Amino acid sequence: MFRRRRPNEPPLDKGYIPWLGYALDFRDNSAEFLKRMQKKHGDIFTVHIGGQYFTFLMDPLSFGSIVKEARSKLDFSKFAQALVARVFSYRGLPGDHKHVQASSTKHLMGDGLVVMTQAMMENLQNLMLHGVGSGESGRTWKQDGLFKFSYNIVFRAGYLALFGNESVKQAGSIEKAKETDRLLSEELFHEFRKYDCLFPRLAYAVLPPKEKLEAERLKRHFWNKLSVKKCMFKENISGWISDQQQFRNENGMEAYMQDRFMFLLLWASQGNTGPSCFWLLLHLMKNQEAMKAVREEIDDVIRLSGQKVKPGGELLNLTRDMLLKTPVLDSAVEETLRLTTAPILIRAALEDMNLKMADGQEYGIRKGDRVALFPYLGVHMDPEVHPEPHVFKYNRFLNAEGSKKVDFYKNGKKVKYFSMPWGAGTTICPGRFFAVNELKQYVFLMLTYFEFELLNPQEAIPPIDQKRWGFGSMQPIHDIQFRYRLRF
Question: Looking at the DSSP assignment, which residues form a beta bridge with residue 362?
Answer: 356
Alpha-carbon 121 to chain mean position: 19
Ligand-binding annotation for 224, yes or no, is: no
Ligand-binding annotation for 429, yes or no, is: yes
Cα-based distances in Å from 46 to 1, 43, 138, 221, 372: 14, 10, 58, 40, 10
Please give the Cα distance from 333 to 279 (Å, whole number): 9
Question: Looking at the DSSP assignment, which residues form a beta bridge with residue 54?
Answer: 47, 370
Half-sphere exposure of 77 (CA within 13 A, CB side): 15
Task: Name, in order, each residue with C-beta under 8 angstroms of 252's C-beta and a sequence gap of 6 or more.
Answer: none
Please give the Cα distance from 479 to 148 (Å, whole number): 7
Alpha-carbon 13 to chain mean position: 31
Please give the Cα distance from 38 to 61 (Å, whole number): 15
Ligand-binding annotation for 6, yes or no, is: no
Residue 35 CB neighbour total at 10 angstroms: 15
| Single-letter amino acid, residue 346 | I
Please give the Cα distance from 264 to 248 (Å, whole number): 14
Please give the Cα distance from 467 to 464 (Å, whole number): 9
Task: Name, in order, each residue with C-beta under 8 angstroms of 32's C-beta and a sequence gap of 6 or more.
Answer: 466
Cα-based distances in Å from 403 to 161, 355, 413, 422: 31, 35, 21, 21
Ligand-binding annotation for 272, yes or no, is: yes
Give the 3-state secondary structure of residue 54: strand
Q: Output the known binding site for substrate.
A: 86, 272, 370
Q: Output the known binding site.
A: 86, 272, 370, 429
Q: Output the known binding site for heme.
A: 429
